[in-house]
Amino acid sequence: MGEIAVTFNEREFSREQQELFNGRQLLLNQLPTEVSERLWANRQQLTYFQLLPAIQERHGDQVCQRCGSLVPATNRLPTGHEYCRQCLALGRVTSADYLVRLQQDYQYPHQSDCLTWSGQLTTAQQQVSDHILQQFRQQKRPEQLLWAVTGAGKTEMTFPVIAAFLAQGQRVGFVSPRVDVCNELFPRVKAAFAHCSVGLFHGQVHEQYQNEQLIIATTHQLLRFYQAFDLLIVDEVDAFPYAGDPMLQRAVATAVKPQGNRLYLSATPPSQLLSAAKRKQLPLHYLARRFHGRQLPVPEVKFGKIMVGQEFSSTLQNLLRDWVQRQRRFLIFLPEIVDLAPIAQKFKQLFPQVSMATVYAADEQRATKVQNFRDEKLAVLLTTTILERGVTFANIDVLILAADHRNYSTASLVQIAGRVGRAAEFANGTVVFYSEYYTLKMRRAVRMIRHLNTQGGF
Ligand SMILES: [Zn+2]
């Protein structure tokens, strides 16, 4: 490793400047000029900071030190420098760049009684939570998996675990592959740990890094952390883009301290984690019962086309009319963004009295629309699969159009079905898979939900 393991005289740095770096790995050229110039000028004397070439050779391959990806020689800029394509979203790393890392024994406050959450775990939730903490603490199992169906309250189950780490002055990260999930999580976590510093980081927020003790972030943002966390909770491990992306999986491994712990959360765990659990390499905690003790709604399958000629098919019209007449509020899922506008237009023609909006990933008003639907200012939300996870609505039904489309996986169908019946007082909602064919993925989704319903509690 041609690492310039220069470490330097950084005591002269102000506390604020040091806090900019704690647990971080940043590109030298992305830092404020006065900081980067001082680091560079002192590069021979560094002792706490680590300054290393951002792309280095390993066994004859060029490797990006930020994300661990191979950099093929064809990734070359007109300047002749190589650059990493894999982590481009966080700013370009080239062979002319340096990364700055700081591993520091930063003393966070010991947050005793930091849990300000006023809710109560059910007995089953409490048991799972205690068990997870016990395994981290006593049996030294640094990686664990919590498999909990949607609506089982898995976030709340992690609160006592988080609190135990904060109480020891340790640092905790809670990450998800999805921005929506982070946005929803942040206010809940902030309220649950009101006296602790909590930060939110993803591509659409531009808060100054404050060295927070508790971090909510997308998995992508972990590329900016280095051995930072004593506990890292990875939500939705089966979700795009985390699942199947080795770069993000490496980012998780790098962001945790060498002695740190990881807790994976999922309602539909990927097979490699389940087989690791089967081989007893990964402790698995299982909570099938939803927090209000009710079951997941089993999807009804209705067969039909969406359009016949220029109109909705009569099957679809009847279904929609029935829901509208009963004044149900509902989500309509579509597999492809191109269909949103025409289907919305048809819907408005048929039901001009119903308040409806469309939402998709790049929609600038996405957060507002989701909030309006939650506040019951909208009766119907027509959405792509961006709302398949993490979002919580009370008392709704869900219609999945073209449920046989290849864009849906078994996991996404199970997740979408899980949007229904999430509040104790409105646990009965309807989920309809609307499609022309009954695919294997649909069949598996229905089977998985039935199976989870028979499992009961812990
Ligand atoms: Zn990279």
Q: Give distance in angstroms: CA of 264 to centre of ligand 1.
A: 24
Strand pairing class (311-312; 307-308)? antiparallel
Q: Give distance in angstroms: CA of 215 to centre of ligand 1.
A: 22
At 2 the pLDDT is 34
Q: Give distance in angstroms: CA of 70 to centre of ligand 1.
A: 8
Q: Residue 386: exposed, middle, or buried by beta-carbon count in 10 A (0-12, 13-18, 19+)?
A: buried
At 6 the pLDDT is 37
Q: Give distance in angstroms: CA of 439 to centre of ligand 1.
A: 38
Q: Which residues pair with 101 in a beta bridge?
A: 25, 50
At 189 the pLDDT is 96
Fold match between domain 123-287 and domain 300-455: yes
Pair 231, 175: CB distance under 8 Å: no
E strand or H helix that includes residue 342: helix 340-350
To the nearest 5 percent, what fractions of the chain are helix, strand and coil? 35, 25, 45
At 102 the pLDDT is 83
What are the residue ranges of helices labelled H in 375-439? Answer: 410-417
Q: Which amino acid makes up residue 244?
A: G
- In sequence order, which residues have a C-beta less than 8 Å from that of residue 17 and are 6 or more positions away? 35
pTM of structure: 0.71
Q: Which residues pair with 287 in a beta bridge?
A: 148
- In sequence order, which residues have a C-beta less than 8 Å from that of residue 77 and are 6 or more positions away? 83, 94
At 411 the pLDDT is 84
- CA dist., res. 178 & res. 388, Å (int): 10
At 55 the pLDDT is 97
Give how far the C-alpha of residue 130 lies from the chain's centroid of Cα atoms, to the nearest Å: 23
Reading the block at residue 276, the tokens are 């690791």
Positions of the chain with pLDDT lower than 70, given as ranges = 1-18, 103-105, 151, 288-295, 390, 392, 421-428, 455-458
Residues with CB under 5 A from ligand 1 (ion): 64, 66-67, 69, 84, 86-87
Q: Give distance in angstroms: CA of 242 to centre of ligand 1.
A: 16
Q: Which amino acid makes up residue 314?
A: S
CATH superfamily of the domain spanning 300-455: P-loop containing nucleotide triphosphate hydrolases (3.40.50.300)
Q: Give distance in angstroms: CA of 220 to centre of ligand 1.
A: 11
Pair 402, 306: CB distance under 8 Å: yes
Q: Give distance in angstroms: CA of 102 to centre of ligand 1.
A: 19
Torsion, Cα of 113, 116, 119, 120 (10° steps): 0
Q: Which amino acid makes up residue 430?
A: T
Q: Give distance in angstroms: CA of 88 to centre of ligand 1.
A: 7
Q: Give distance in angstroms: CA of 67 to centre of ligand 1.
A: 4
CA atoms within 13 A on the CB side of 435: 24
DSSP 3-state of 230: strand
Topology annotation, domain 123-287: Rossmann fold (3.40.50)
At 264 the pLDDT is 95
Q: Give distance in angstroms: CA of 361 to centre of ligand 1.
A: 25
Q: Give distance in angstroms: CA of 148 to centre of ligand 1.
A: 33
Where exactly are the structural domains of the chain?
A: 6-102, 123-287, 300-455
Q: Give distance in angstroms: CA of 154 to centre of ligand 1.
A: 32
- CA dist., res. 302 & res. 305, Å (int): 10
E strand or H helix that includes residue 144: strand 143-148
Encode pLDDT of 255-294 as tens digits.
999 999 999 999 888 888 888 888 888 888 887 665 555 6
Pair 166, 111: CB distance under 8 Å: yes
At 328 the pLDDT is 92
